[in-house]
């Protein structure tokens, strides 16, 4: 009895990509984000072990910080589009207002020259006739060119914001709520490097890197506690939370100076503090980022938060530029128009500071210009 012959093999299917199982772009970006965040955590764990950190660390809680919320593609696109639109509008409005200011100055100067020439050439006893600088068609062309220019700036700024968002996602660094945890984790490998760096340029570079990483962590902690870690409608004791952030910042600053005295011991202490801050921020314990025994008795000098002041003064500047442009286009004198716009700027800044509770911050920001040398105490955020 002969064995049955095997059937002929089927022809190999054509090399057609499996479209149904190909991950979408959004999934690929989220995957890169998760991978980068995981790599950051693993590097931090290895650095903590190298620095001899034996206290238990809730690594799973820290990992949960980087878990992206489940959103539909449409919700993700809306969030990204909203952020990019706000950024692009701010840039386009700023450049547009500056352009209007310059255009108003030029046209005001041209109108003044035309009026002077008309007075010189007009016969005695007659009213001088001032010629129009631009015809209505020329004004329409100028407006169209300016509009197209601003549209291009808007598109370019929005595209740049989206590109930056993609880059941060690929690096596992995106949301404001992750900033404190991310800066704390990034500081650990730098601390391990400075602890074991050999004498010479490598050690000096490691010290520079550590100071940059810890400074970034200090800034992130201050910003987080000043905004209640992004909690919308926070009704707790905001000044107390803000004071805690200032104490944490000062504790790091006081310990940071020890790197040039007892490098290895200070690096281990800073690593323990960074791990504690990362863990408690991940657990939403924003008011106890460090234990009371590790904090100084006084928070130190309050820093001028120039970011909030910048928004406030920017709004006042927009109002002043609008008033200046209207005054110049209406034929008002240049000196009077500038004086009026400066008055509007001061009044708008004062009223905005009063209603937003930033009057003391505006005063501190202006006081920076009156200090002789050395800059503000503790720096400016």
Angle between helices 73-121 and 334-356 (to 10 degrees): 150
CA quadruple 223, 229, 234, 240: dihedral sign: negative
**With the CA atoms of 357, 360, 361 and 362 taken in that order, what torsion angle do they form, in degrees rounded to the nearest 10?**
100
CA quadruple 367, 368, 372, 374: dihedral sign: positive
pLDDT of residue 375: 39
pLDDT of residue 76: 66
d(C-alpha 83, C-alpha 1), whole Å: 78
**With the CA atoms of 12, 14, 15 and 16 taken in that order, what torsion angle do they form, in degrees rounded to the nearest 10?**
-140
pLDDT of residue 371: 46
Whole-number Cα distances in Å, 356 to 233, 311, 348: 14, 11, 12
185 near 44, Cβ under 8 Å? Answer: yes
62 near 279, Cβ under 8 Å? Answer: yes
pLDDT of residue 295: 86
List the structure tokens of 15: 């090399």
d(C-alpha 350, C-alpha 360), whole Å: 11
The region that residue 58 occupies, defined by phi over 0 for left and psi between -120 and 50 for alpha, beta otherwise, is beta
Residues in the chain: 381
Quick one: how far is CA 149 from the chain centroid? Answer: 25
d(C-alpha 319, C-alpha 108), whole Å: 19
Counts of helices then strands in the chain (DSSP H, E)? 11, 0
297 near 325, Cβ under 8 Å? Answer: no
Q: Which of 369, 247, 241 is nearest to 302 (CA)?
A: 247
List the structure tokens of 93: 């409005």
d(C-alpha 297, C-alpha 279), whole Å: 23
pLDDT of residue 19: 37
Whole-model pTM: value is: 0.62
pLDDT of residue 28: 76
Cβ-based neighbour number of residue 299 at 10 Å: 17
Q: Which of 81, 92, 82 is nearest to 148 (CA)?
A: 92
Could you say which residues of the chain have pLDDT below 70? Answer: 1-23, 25-26, 68-76, 130, 169-177, 300-310, 328-336, 354-381
d(C-alpha 285, C-alpha 211), whole Å: 25
pLDDT of residue 70: 65
pLDDT of residue 373: 42
pLDDT of residue 187: 93
pLDDT of residue 257: 86
pLDDT of residue 339: 73
């Amino acid at each position: 009895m002969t064995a049955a012959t095997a059937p002929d093999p089927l022809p190999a299917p054509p090399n057609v990509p499996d479209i149904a199982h190909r991950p979408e772009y959004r999934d690929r970006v989220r995957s890169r984000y998760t991978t980068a965040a995981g790599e950051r955590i693993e590097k931090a764990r290895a650095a903590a072990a190298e620095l001899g950190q034996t206290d238990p660390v809730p690594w799973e809680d820290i990992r949960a910080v980087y878990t992206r919320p489940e959103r539909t593609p449409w919700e993700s696109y809306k969030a990204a589009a909203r952020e990019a639109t706000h950024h692009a509008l701010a840039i386009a409005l700023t450049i547009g207002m500056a352009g209007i200011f310059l255009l108003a100055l030029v046209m005001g100067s041209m109108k003044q020259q035309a009026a002077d020439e008309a007075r010189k050439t007009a016969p005695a006893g007659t009213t001088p006739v001032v010629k129009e600088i631009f015809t209505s068609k020329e004004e329409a062309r100028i407006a169209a060119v300016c509009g197209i220019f601003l549209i291009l700036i808007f598109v370019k700024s929005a595209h740049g914001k989206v590109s930056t968002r993609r880059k941060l996602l690929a690096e596992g660094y995106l949301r404001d709520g992750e900033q404190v945890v991310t800066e704390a984790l990034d500081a650990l490998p730098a601390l391990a490097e400075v602890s074991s760096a050999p004498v010479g340029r490598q050690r000096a570079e490691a010290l520079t890197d550590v100071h940059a990483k810890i400074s970034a962590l200090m800034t992130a902690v201050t910003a987080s506690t000043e905004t209640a870690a992004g909690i919308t409608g926070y009704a707790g004791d905001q000044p107390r939370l803000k004071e805690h952030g200032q104490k944490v910042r000062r504790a790091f600053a006081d310990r940071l100076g020890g790197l040039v005295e007892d490098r290895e011991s200070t690096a281990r202490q800073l690593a323990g503090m960074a791990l504690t801050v990362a863990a408690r921020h991940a657990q939403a314990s924003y008011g106890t980022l460090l234990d009371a025994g590790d904090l100084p008795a006084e928070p130190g000098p309050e820093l001028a938060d120039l970011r909030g002041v910048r928004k406030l003064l920017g709004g006042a500047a927009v109002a002043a530029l609008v008033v200046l442009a209207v005054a110049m286009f209406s034929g008002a004198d240049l000196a009077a128009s500038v004086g009026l716009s400066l008055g509007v700027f001061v009044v708008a800044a004062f009223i905005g500071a009063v209603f937003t509770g930033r009057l003391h911050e505006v005063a501190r920001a202006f006081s920076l210009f009156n200090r002789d040398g050395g800059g503000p105490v503790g720096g400016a955020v």
